[in-house]
Amino acid sequence: MTLTRREFTGRSAAGAGLVLTGAAGALATAPGALAAQDTPEAVGGSVPEPGYGPLVPDPRGVLALPAGFTYRIVTHSGVTKLDSGEYTPSNHDGTATFEGPRGVTFLVNNHELKGPRADWEHPVPLTEGLVYDPAAAGGCTVVEAHQDGRTAEWVGIAGTSTNCAGGRTPWGTWLTCEENSDRAGQNGMTKDHGYVFEVDPYDREANRDPRPVKAFGRFDHEAVVIDPRTGHAYLTEDDSKPNGLFYRWVPPHGFKHGRRQLRRLAADAGVLQAPRCYDAGGRFVDDLSRATRTGTVYGVDWVDVPDRDARTVAVREQFDGQNITRARKLEGMWWADGGAYIVSSYARDESPGTPHDGQVWFYNPRRRTLTLKVLLGVNPAPDKDGAFDGPDNITVSPYGGLVIAEDGEGLQHLFGATERGRTYPIARNDLNDSEFTGVVFSPDGRTLYANIQEPGIMVAITGPWRRAHKNG
């Protein structure tokens, strides 16, 4: 049952307890800190250390991992090659996995390449029939990973721009998002950008003649997830001045999702909306950086976007004078537990609230509430191990809690957040200072895939994964 604004404020004021739980539980953390419910007194006098122990420096100088874990390189820009003979494109970003036959894992991998192709040594090749804009450098590749280490790779879509994150659909395809909204004629582009495109990892023919899903709007897209129950799409925008927005797309009456259905939508199909949040007292919340405590719950109303294709004014700027809730650097999303986990990477002077080095929110569509699950305090020493900042891509772990790719200052990590809200390291980039991206488990949960964005390296991590201790 949907909770109305009046019901939300009344029940919250009465202490009805609207804190939500899920596979990631009541996640709550500052760097290295315990959640309130994780004090030694709360768990019988001691709190076992979460995770898999300290990271061991890599003699190969690529990836530090806990003892007992290993990695292999799956693709490497400028080193490995596509089935066409061209080199793997650079700047790996968002990734999803799909189950293939006989233990094969398919991965669709974004390449975040902005601007003209001449600016990049290894752009996504312009494979015939798979090109949207021949001037653009970005796109996706599809990787076929076998259990014995063999791989193959080919182009899923080319001629798109700044393919950052995206999202896996319930029907087994990938939605790749352009984090760039150049118009035709800008930066050498021949077509408008700022759209979402669908890529099918199983059917190369289905990817021919790429068409943007214009119904999802034209802006600097970051990630997208689909509610399998209602068909609603939720989308994040990584932009500033003003800060970006978290969007909802409501499909038109009678529309049914499935393969190749999104490309048949009219540009104005359904309704694109932006959030208006309010606290337990019914007060409007202008920016998610206003929240200073985990467990904070905001109610959400939705306001229609006037011009989703941003013909004259950017979508996020179309709400002057209206109460719209923004957030700094809205990044990765993951659908689980009946809702969307949403990352706000950090907040600084661009935001009106309290500075932070990362938030993870959970949107519950049935109740129309946003709950703050993870809060990373400002990292005082980003060049030292032990604290994390700048969460970006995110996944829900089959072993409990979250696994998050770091895109912050200083050292770059993959790190976990347990169901009780404590953080722990999983990997450290020993190669360079590039961010991690595309963190995702294989369908069987045995392998964690992730990317070092520059130059563009996909790794497969295996080891003694285990479910986190119930008090961890």
pLDDT in tens, 361-388: 999 999 999 999 999 999 999 988 888 9
Question: What are the domain boundaries of the chain?
Answer: 20-270+285-295+309-320+327-364+374-462
pLDDT for the residue 364: 98
User: Does residue 472 carry a pLDDT above 60?
Assistant: no
Between CA 456 and CA 139 the distance in angstroms is 14
- Top-ranked range on mean pLDDT: pick from 41-55, 192-206, 318-332, 369-383: 192-206
User: Does residue 49 carry a pLDDT above 90?
Assistant: no
Least confident of 33-37, 71-75, 411-415: 33-37
pLDDT for the residue 384: 87
Residue holding tokens 């659909």?
169
> How confident is residue 468, by pLDDT bands cut at 50, 70 and 90?
low
> How confident is residue 322, by pLDDT bands cut at 50, 70 and 90?
confident
Where b means 16+ CB within 10 Å and e means fewer, 438-462 reads: bbbbbbeeebbbbbbbbbbbbbbbe
Question: Average per-residue pLDDT in the chain?
Answer: 90
The mean pLDDT value for 175-186 works out to: 97
Residue holding tokens 């700047």?
91
> How confident is residue 458, by pLDDT bands cut at 50, 70 and 90?
very high
> How confident is residue 469, by pLDDT bands cut at 50, 70 and 90?
low
pLDDT for the residue 14: 36
Residue-wise pLDDT for 241-293, tens only, equals 999 999 999 999 999 999 999 999 999 999 999 999 999 999 999 999 999 99
More confident residue, 32 or 217: 217
Residue-wise pLDDT for 227-248, tens only, equals 999 999 999 999 999 999 999 9
User: Does residue 161 carry a pLDDT above 70?
Assistant: yes
The mean pLDDT value for 290-304 works out to: 96
Residue-wise pLDDT for 12-23, tens only, equals 433 322 222 233
**Given 1.10.3720.10, 2.120.10.30, 2.60.40.10, 2.170.130.10, which CATH number is that of 20-270+285-295+309-320+327-364+374-462?**
2.120.10.30
> How confident is residue 418, by pLDDT bands cut at 50, 70 and 90?
confident
pLDDT for the residue 11: 46
pTM reported for the whole predicted model: 0.91
pLDDT for the residue 385: 86
The mean pLDDT value for 71-90 works out to: 97
User: Does residue 196 carry a pLDDT above 90?
Assistant: yes
> How confident is residue 423, by pLDDT bands cut at 50, 70 and 90?
confident
> How confident is residue 393, by pLDDT bands cut at 50, 70 and 90?
very high
